[in-house]
Structure 1
Amino acid sequence: MTTKISNSNVTAQINHVGAELFSIKNKENKEFMWEGNPKFWGKHSPVLFPIVGTLKNNSYSYNGIDYQLARHGFARDMVFEVVQKNKNSVIFSLNSSEETRKTYPFEFELQIIYTLIENSLMVEYKVFNKGNTIMPFSIGAHPAFALDGNFEKYSLEFEKEENLEYFLLENDLIANKKKQLELKNKKINLNYQLFENDALIFKTLESNSITILENLKPFLKVTFEDFPSLGLWTKIDASFICIEPWFGYSDTNEHFGNLFEKEGIQVLSENDIFNSKFSIEIL
């Protein structure tokens, strides 16, 4: 099943599996989301929960028990319930269950709220700790934006001039290796060589937004004021770029499995609520 929301400027469509955004169109019917061609990557904008990235050995320990949890967690593959909808907004909900407790033994509700405001789509995450113990988790976005034609005619403009440091991945884990990404007038020109070693992982950065430009003309802006970390990613020869605001990231090679000691992990008190949001604006 899918749900559509719209206003006079934008139409968005969301799949109930993963509450995954798969289409954003302007009033001229131009599509801004990646088509999901499985030859390269068969998704569009999965939510990453209750982990972001990969755990070492795809496992972690909690209260002396080892649990298996696959890359990016399980929420992206589960069916969400629509709990509220009107013309320009919708709230999706996923609750803990016998199935989720097999890999993540915590009581939670995850809400994903989509709201259209003028030319923007606001995406809000709410995580409710419904258990009687503290709850460790990560959450992140993974939207893929369509880039038609020559990949190298596109560039990314960061909100601020900054000295960008990104970490390299080895076997999907963050290695103790990092590089500098040089900005020129706050911009980087896209090319596939940047992604030969998979995603670029920024544990921290100063900018709160990134704008995608085609031949130096801005056409889409992602704003992520709440999020401390970010990933940039594409597949070689694919016509998309992912701009991924995160709370958390993959394990490091040195991590030893305790989820509470994982870099970037969030810890939610019992009966507490975590809230964050980002926006996608058509320029």
Structure 2
Amino acid sequence: MIHTIENDYLRVSVDDHGAELCSIFDKVHNREVIWQADPAYWKRHAPVLFPNVGRHFEDHYRINGVEYPSSQHGFARDSEFTCVDMTADSITHRLKSSDATRENYPYDFELKIKHVLEKNQVSVCWEVISLNDETMYFTIGGHPAFNVPAGGIGSQEQYHLTFDGRDSLSYLLIDISSGTAVADKAYTLELENGSCLIDAHMFDKDALIFDDQIEKAGIAFPDGTPYVELICHGFPSFGIWSVPGSPFVCLEPWMGRCDDFGFKGELPEKKYINTLDKDEIFTASYEIKIY
């Protein structure tokens, strides 16, 4: 079931399946902002990545010597959530651990996803509750895809990625065969006045991974005016991705990310891992601002 809230600026819809943000319709400019999941390119809109962002090396991980299988981006995006609260400006979903989730993730948890609408902005709020006696480990991330070009304005290669006040950024690429980060070779994204054009070949090698640099990133129209901005204070990692030749771009705020290539340590040793002790609550949120 899809739930919808709206105000004078935006109409926002969220699906029970994956608690996935499936539409931000800009009422002011009469255009859809979120990618509408054309399976010819990519069948999702804005999946929630949990309990892992990206892939583990060789698609499994270890806890206390026990090996567990894992799939890319975890199971939340393909799970049925329950809508537990809805107000005029918010929609809250919940996912609880089950026998199915325990097959490849040995922890008991509650995951709440809340979407809040305020003027021309949507906040995506995560709450993870541990129901375990031992420490729980996880990563969680956002993966919203935005229509680029927007509303028939220009071509994708005329749009800009924007990063406030930066002259350049350092990024990693992904080893395609394993889906993990090649951490020993960094590349430089050169910026002019904090922005760069979206190059047609930018995503030929999958996502660009930025560690410890980005708390705000956006997409601007060909004339330089802002289109959409994503604010994610306190997030250690950030991904930018698209399928080459497709009319969307993803801005992805991550609390943790894929393994580094060759990582064979235990899950508690993983870079950027999040931890929760019994009855602890993890919270994080990011904002999508539409111009």
Instruction: Indicate whether the TM-score tops 0.5.
Output: yes
Pair 1:84-2:85 in alignment: yes
Q: Which residue of 2 aligns with 1:22?
A: 22
Aligned residues: 282
Q: Which residue of 2 aligns with 1:131?
A: 132
Q: Which residue of 2 aligns with 1:214?
A: 221
Q: Which residue of 2 aligns with 1:231?
A: 239
- The DSSP-based 3-state class of the residue aligned with 1:194 is coil
Written as runs of structure 1 = structure 2, the 5 A alignment for 1:95-134 is 95-134=96-135
How far apart in 2 are the matches of 1:14 and 1:160? 33
> In the TM superposition, what whole-angstrom CA distance separates every residue of 1:165-185 from its partner, at most 9, and x where no partner exists?
111111211112210111111
Written as runs of structure 1 = structure 2, the 5 A alignment for 1:1-283 is 1-28=1-28, 29-148=30-149, 149-170=154-175, 171=177, 172-175=179-182, 176-205=184-213, 207-215=214-222, 216-283=224-291
Could you tell me the percent identity over the aligned residues? 36
Alignment check: 8 A CA contact 2:50 2:73 kept? yes
How far apart in 2 are the matches of 1:131 and 1:162? 45
- The DSSP-based 3-state class of the residue aligned with 1:44 is coil
Alignment check: 8 A CA contact 2:142 2:252 kept? yes
Shift in Å, 1:257: 4.4
- The DSSP-based 3-state class of the residue aligned with 1:99 is helix
The amino acid that maps onto 2:52 is: I
Alignment check: 8 A CA contact 1:233 1:241 kept? yes
How far apart in 1 are the matches of 2:233 and 2:8? 26
- The DSSP-based 3-state class of the residue aligned with 1:13 is strand
How far apart in 1 are the matches of 2:282 and 2:168? 30
Alignment check: 8 A CA contact 1:222 1:243 kept? yes
With normalisation by structure 2, the TM-score equals 0.94
Shift in Å, 1:211: 2.1
Superposition misfits of 4+ residues, deviation over 6 angstroms: none
The amino acid that maps onto 1:23 is: S
- The DSSP-based 3-state class of the residue aligned with 2:186 is strand
Alignment check: 8 A CA contact 2:139 2:255 kept? yes
Gaps of 5+ in 2: none
How far apart in 2 are the matches of 1:257 and 1:37? 38
How far apart in 1 are the matches of 2:282 and 2:133? 16
Alignment check: 8 A CA contact 2:165 2:193 kept? no
With normalisation by structure 1, the TM-score equals 0.97
How far apart in 2 are the matches of 1:68 and 1:162? 41
Shift in Å, 1:250: 1.0
Please identify, of 254-263 and 273-282, the stretch whose mean Cα deviation from structure 2 is larger: 254-263
How far apart in 1 are the matches of 2:147 and 2:209? 21
How far apart in 2 are the matches of 1:165 and 1:118? 34
Q: Alpha carbon RMSD of aligned pairs, Å? A: 1.1
Shift in Å, 1:192: 2.1
How far apart in 1 are the matches of 2:94 and 2:165? 35
How far apart in 2 are the matches of 1:118 and 1:178? 39
The amino acid that maps onto 2:73 is: H
